[in-house]
Structure 1
Amino acid sequence: MHTPTTQARPSIYYTYEVFKPWLLSEHAQPTRQKVVIVGSGPAGMVTALELARHGVASVVLSSELQFSQGSRAICFTRRSMEILQQVGVADRMTEGGLPWRFGNSYYRGQRVFRMEAPHDTDDRFFPIINVQQQFMEEYLHDACKANPLIDFRWGNKVSKVDQKDGYAVLEVDTPEGLYTLESNWVVAADGGRSAIRTAMNLEMEGASYEGFFVIADIKVDLPLPTERLAYFDPDWNPGNTILMHREPNGIWRVDYQLPDGETPEQALKPESLKARIDAQLAMIGHAGVKWEMDWSSVYSARTLTLPDFVHGSVIFTGDAAHLLPIFGVRGANTAFQDAQSLGWHLAFVVKGLASQKLLTNHSAERVGAAREIIDEAGKSTRFMTPPAGGFQLLRDAVLSLSLTQAFVRPLYHWRTSRPHAYTHSMLNSMGDDNDLFKAGPAHGAPPQNVRLGANDFLLDHLGGGFDLLYFTDAPTIPESLQHTLQAARSKGMPVNVVAVGSAHPVAGADTTLADTNGHLRQRYGVPANGGAYLLRPDQHICARWLTLDATRLQAALKTALPQ
């Protein structure tokens, strides 16, 4: 019998709610579900919300009765905020978050590099915003709870998954005992220590790096801006790196590598934590300042991924599918992109709008993204915490030269998480004009947001299906294109037509966006005589044309949704 703790987790700044467990005796006997999501972290809840956005119901199983302990993920990128806007929680994130765009690297008391993340008037969100994970989980849970298509079950722990022909049977343990739950699809979003992955004997590919790192959240008043701070080879922790981030509610994150020979258990002793944090505060000029510990943990850097995320009726996502180092804010931000992708791919298969080839595409795209991130994160990890030998020698040389030589300083850049471009996706049109464009987002790229008004942006008008951006000053969409679109819709394919250019409604378009100054046209590289873009339900580009006719559109729609 599963007995999750009913004692609220301690926190200086967050009040944990202990939720009532879902018990079978209080509900009707379960029928076979379309989708069961195992795990209620960021990946699991965003997947549920994305499925619901496409009209697909799901059951979310959480083994615990409360949100995760500690701040955990705190830095969320612009693309993550765009995804969270789609599922309805971006405003709450913005209200309580701390936006920032600068990062500073220090060596021997000198700032040797200052990172500046791009930000312009077309961006609704800052490059990064800091919000503790408990708040983000609360916002996502509130959205799940308000959605009639999401059945959220606290205190339900999956103890076994048995795959049958075309569905799976889950054994679920609760505070009143076991019950079985059948589902056509199971989303394994059960974290880095995924019990489902272990039970299925699935091996991850990649590397684990030497050394352990402490994360400590402290309540302290420091007169410093909300910027990322990195300190290399400090006197109190020679050869290692320390990171600091300001969090909301008066909390600061201190992140440092353990010296050689020190165990995680030793590092988390109160006297060890106090000595290291006091030393760090003294080094930055705040010796003796009063502080209070909220939460601490130890982690190691790993760059691992499953080579395939789809195994029969079970689909892995988030940390259950891959393990990434935190350098470059990659964990939760990658999970959001996984979940957004999985949401629409799985929804279209569940609804019978596409064959299971679409899930093969999801796996190929997200495994490719994981491997790209592993390559970049590996470079960051080897610089932040270099292995002995050549990497250590190179890092030490960069540190030394950076005091006087500007050309080496960009090597401090931490290669911040960025959305993956599905350049080689099977959904991209091969008969379009992608190679002829001189500007604008190319095949597989995420969308370029564009400001349309004081609080009005292009991405506010997209999402929920495929979007055809048709640039025109004409009063109507050509009849041949309308016939092609109607044929696709008659087969269930959701396609939204956005006419861009005219100040007046364009006949045949679902939405008309004025572009009197040509700014949107310019950002998308569209010439004055018109053009078009086809965006997938996750807003990534799958086709673009300088000239579009019905035959080319029909071919692109067929490629984008394989039957």
Structure 2
Amino acid sequence: MHQPSSTPRPSIYYRYQVHAPWLPSAHAAQARQKVVIAGSGPAGMVTALELARHGVASVVLTAELQLSQGSRAIVFTRRSMEILQQVGVAGRMTEGGLPWRYGNSYYRGRRVFRMEAPHDEDDRFFPMLNVQQQYMEEYLYDACAAHPLIDFRWGNKLQSVEQKDGHALLTVDTPEGEYPLQTDWLVAADGGRSGIRTAMNLQMEGSSYEGFFVIADIQIDLPLPTERLAFFDPEWNPGNTILMHREPHGIWRVDYQLPPGETPEDALRPESLKARIDAQLAMIGHAGQPWEMDWCSVYSARTLTLPDYVHGSVLFTGDAAHLLPIFGVRGANTAFQDAQSLAWHLAFVVKGLAGKALLANHSAERVGAAREIIDEGGKSTRFMTPPSRGFRLLRDAVLSLSLTQEFVRPLYHWRTSRPHEYTHSALNSPGDDNGLFTDGPAHGAPPRNVRLGADEFLLDHLGGGFELLYFTEADAIPAPLQAVLAEWRARGVPLRVTAVGAAGPVAGADQVLADADGRCRRRYGVSAGGAAYLLRPDQHVCARWLTLDATRLRAALQTALPQ
């Protein structure tokens, strides 16, 4: 029988709650489920919340009785916050988080590069927000627990998976023993050491880099801003790199590379941790500053992905699907995008609104995103931790030249995580006007937010299905377009129309945004009425037109929802 620990995890700043296990004896016989999600990390819970938003129930299995130990992911991007806004937790994230937009690189005691992430008045969220993962998971769990379509089962460990004809038979272990559970779809969100991936003997493709990094969270009072700090080739750790981030509740993360040959066990010895953290504090001018350890861990940099995320009735997401370097804040932020994509694709298949080919599209898009991240993340990793003599010579040349030569300093840029653009998605309309636009989000891009008022933005009004942004000053959506909309709605497709630019009500529109100053039109590259954008349920653009008619709208919807 599975016996998860009931002792609260230790932490200086976070109080862990131990939850009661879900026990089979307290519930009726288990019916066959539509979706079971194995794993309650960021990918698993966002998948559950997004499925629920599309009206699909799920069971979430987690082997533990409490949230994950340690801060883990701490930096969340603007796009992640926009996704978390959709599932209702962005407000709690911003209340306790630390926003920032600058990153600094130091060499030989000098700042040689300062990164500034773009931010303007049309952005509701800052480029980056620092919050410890325990808080983010708490907010997601509270949202899951409050939703009637999510059955969250603490202390339930997935033991085995047997795929049948069109479904999967699971064996789940609990403190009372095992029980069988059938599901049409199993979402493998069980992390980087995915037991499901191992049991299915699935191999990842890519690279693993030599060397280890220590993450140490310390409680200390440092008079430094909330900005990324990177130190290259310091005297106390020659040839290696140190990163520092401020976290909420008086915590600082110190992230440093180990010398070659040092084992993780040696690195985590208290005397080793103390010596290195003291050396780092001394280097930045705070020698002797008292501090206390909260949590520490060791990781290695890997750039790996499964070549396909769909295997029969098992769908992989998050770290179970890929292992990405944390440089550029790619871990949890990529998982949110994975989960958002998987949930709408899967929901439309479960509800019979599209065929299983839609899941193949999800896999193709997210594998493509992972490979793009692997390409960019690999560049950052090779700069932070050169894997060969040649790469080290190149990196050291950049370091040396950066003291006097401006032109090499941008090579320090850490290639921050950004949302993938599905430029070549099979769901993009081949017959629209994408190539004729001179501005605005193109095929596959996420939407651009627009400030509409003091605390009102365009993305506050979007989400939940397909969105047609129709730019018009008329008092009605053209009748032929309304007929196509009615036709697709009759099939059960969630499809909402937002009229942008009209001063009064617009017949056939679900909502109207006045856009009196033309800000929305400019952000979307629109100059005349009749232009339109079609956004998928994950808000990425799948079609845009300078002029839209019924035939083109119908064709775009048929492309976006293959049967």
**Superposition TM-score, scaled by structure 1 size:** 1.00
In the other structure, the counterpart of 2:26 is 26
1:43-62 superposed Cα distances (whole Å, 9 cap, x missing partner): 00000000000000000000
In the other structure, the counterpart of 1:35 is 35
In the other structure, the counterpart of 2:64 is 64
Distance, in Å, in 2 between the alignment partners of 1:144 and 1:223 is 38
1:8-28 superposed Cα distances (whole Å, 9 cap, x missing partner): 000000000000000000111
5 Å-filtered alignment, 1:495-506, equals 495-506=495-506
In the other structure, the counterpart of 2:358 is 358
In the other structure, the counterpart of 1:217 is 217
3-state SS, counterpart of residue 16 of structure 1:
coil
The range that moved more, 527-536 or 34-43, is: 527-536
Distance, in Å, in 2 between the alignment partners of 1:126 and 1:86 is 17
In the other structure, the counterpart of 1:240 is 240
In the other structure, the counterpart of 2:268 is 268
Distance, in Å, in 2 between the alignment partners of 1:414 and 1:184 is 41
3-state SS, counterpart of residue 61 of structure 1:
strand
In the other structure, the counterpart of 1:483 is 483
Distance, in Å, in 1 between the alignment partners of 2:560 and 2:495 is 12
3-state SS, counterpart of residue 224 of structure 2:
coil
3-state SS, counterpart of residue 415 of structure 2:
coil
In the other structure, the counterpart of 1:426 is 426
Indicate yes or no: 2:542 matched with 1:562: no
In the other structure, the counterpart of 1:156 is 156
Distance, in Å, in 2 between the alignment partners of 1:165 and 1:171 is 17
1:203-245 superposed Cα distances (whole Å, 9 cap, x missing partner): 0000000100000000000000000000000000000000000
In the other structure, the counterpart of 1:528 is 528
- For 1:122, the aligned partner's letter is D
In the other structure, the counterpart of 2:119 is 119
Distance, in Å, in 1 between the alignment partners of 2:530 and 2:215 is 52
- For 2:194, the aligned partner's letter is S
CA offset at residue 528 of structure 1? Answer: 2.5
In the other structure, the counterpart of 1:435 is 435
In the other structure, the counterpart of 1:73 is 73
- For 1:265, the aligned partner's letter is E
1:112-152 superposed Cα distances (whole Å, 9 cap, x missing partner): 00000000000000000000000000000000000000000
3-state SS, counterpart of residue 332 of structure 1:
helix
5 Å-filtered alignment, 1:54-203, equals 54-203=54-203
3-state SS, counterpart of residue 377 of structure 1:
helix
- For 1:442, the aligned partner's letter is A
3-state SS, counterpart of residue 245 of structure 2:
strand
CA offset at residue 246 of structure 1? Answer: 0.1
Distance, in Å, in 2 between the alignment partners of 1:503 and 1:92 is 34
Distance, in Å, in 2 between the alignment partners of 1:359 and 1:260 is 43
Distance, in Å, in 2 between the alignment partners of 1:505 and 1:301 is 55
Distance, in Å, in 1 between the alignment partners of 2:174 and 2:467 is 43
3-state SS, counterpart of residue 244 of structure 2:
strand
- 8 Å CA contact 2:466–2:534 kept in 1: the answer is yes
In the other structure, the counterpart of 2:6 is 6
In the other structure, the counterpart of 1:445 is 445
Distance, in Å, in 1 between the alignment partners of 2:261 and 2:178 is 44
3-state SS, counterpart of residue 552 of structure 1:
helix
3-state SS, counterpart of residue 4 of structure 2:
coil
CA offset at residue 535 of structure 1? Answer: 0.1
In the other structure, the counterpart of 2:283 is 283
- For 1:420, the aligned partner's letter is H
CA offset at residue 530 of structure 1? Answer: 3.6
CA offset at residue 503 of structure 1? Answer: 1.7
- For 1:326, the aligned partner's letter is I
- For 1:346, the aligned partner's letter is L
CA offset at residue 390 of structure 1? Answer: 1.2
Flag structure 2 segments of 5+ consecutive residues without an equivalent: none
Flag structure 1 segments of 5+ consecutive residues without an equivalent: none
Distance, in Å, in 1 between the alignment partners of 2:503 and 2:72 is 47
3-state SS, counterpart of residue 525 of structure 2:
coil
CA offset at residue 187 of structure 1? Answer: 0.1
3-state SS, counterpart of residue 182 of structure 2:
strand
Indicate yes or no: 2:387 matched with 1:387: yes
In the other structure, the counterpart of 2:314 is 314
What stretches of structure 1 move > 2 A for 4+ residues in a row?
A: none
3-state SS, counterpart of residue 218 of structure 2:
strand
3-state SS, counterpart of residue 383 of structure 2:
helix
- For 1:2, the aligned partner's letter is H
5 Å-filtered alignment, 1:460-471, equals 460-471=460-471
Distance, in Å, in 2 between the alignment partners of 1:232 and 1:386 is 12
In the other structure, the counterpart of 1:17 is 17
Distance, in Å, in 1 between the alignment partners of 2:228 and 2:125 is 18
- For 1:445, the aligned partner's letter is A
- For 1:388, the aligned partner's letter is S
1:60-93 superposed Cα distances (whole Å, 9 cap, x missing partner): 0000000000000000000000000000000000
The range that moved more, 510-519 or 242-251, is: 510-519
3-state SS, counterpart of residue 111 of structure 2:
strand
CA offset at residue 388 of structure 1? Answer: 2.3
CA offset at residue 260 of structure 1? Answer: 1.2
1:334-367 superposed Cα distances (whole Å, 9 cap, x missing partner): 0000000001000000000000000000000000
3-state SS, counterpart of residue 419 of structure 2:
coil
Distance, in Å, in 2 between the alignment partners of 1:13 and 1:529 is 54
Distance, in Å, in 2 between the alignment partners of 1:528 and 1:547 is 9
1:161-189 superposed Cα distances (whole Å, 9 cap, x missing partner): 00000000000000010000000000000
1:470-517 superposed Cα distances (whole Å, 9 cap, x missing partner): 000011000000001100111111110000001211111000001111
In the other structure, the counterpart of 1:46 is 46
Distance, in Å, in 1 between the alignment partners of 2:389 and 2:270 is 33
Indicate yes or no: 2:204 matched with 1:204: yes
- For 2:192, the aligned partner's letter is G
3-state SS, counterpart of residue 3 of structure 1:
coil
1:294-337 superposed Cα distances (whole Å, 9 cap, x missing partner): 00000000000000000000000000000001000000000000
- For 2:21, the aligned partner's letter is P
Aligned length: 563
- For 2:126, the aligned partner's letter is F
1:84-107 superposed Cα distances (whole Å, 9 cap, x missing partner): 000000000000000000000000
Distance, in Å, in 2 between the alignment partners of 1:366 and 1:504 is 41
In the other structure, the counterpart of 2:254 is 254
- For 2:27, the aligned partner's letter is H
Distance, in Å, in 1 between the alignment partners of 2:513 and 2:505 is 8
The range that moved more, 386-395 or 301-310, is: 386-395
3-state SS, counterpart of residue 105 of structure 2:
strand
1:389-416 superposed Cα distances (whole Å, 9 cap, x missing partner): 2110100000000000000000000000
In the other structure, the counterpart of 1:410 is 410
3-state SS, counterpart of residue 221 of structure 2:
coil
The range that moved more, 528-537 or 150-159, is: 528-537
CA offset at residue 527 of structure 1? Answer: 1.4
CA offset at residue 529 of structure 1? Answer: 3.7
- 8 Å CA contact 2:530–2:548 kept in 1: the answer is no
- 8 Å CA contact 2:171–2:180 kept in 1: the answer is yes
Distance, in Å, in 1 between the alignment partners of 2:379 and 2:212 is 17
Distance, in Å, in 1 between the alignment partners of 2:417 and 2:311 is 27
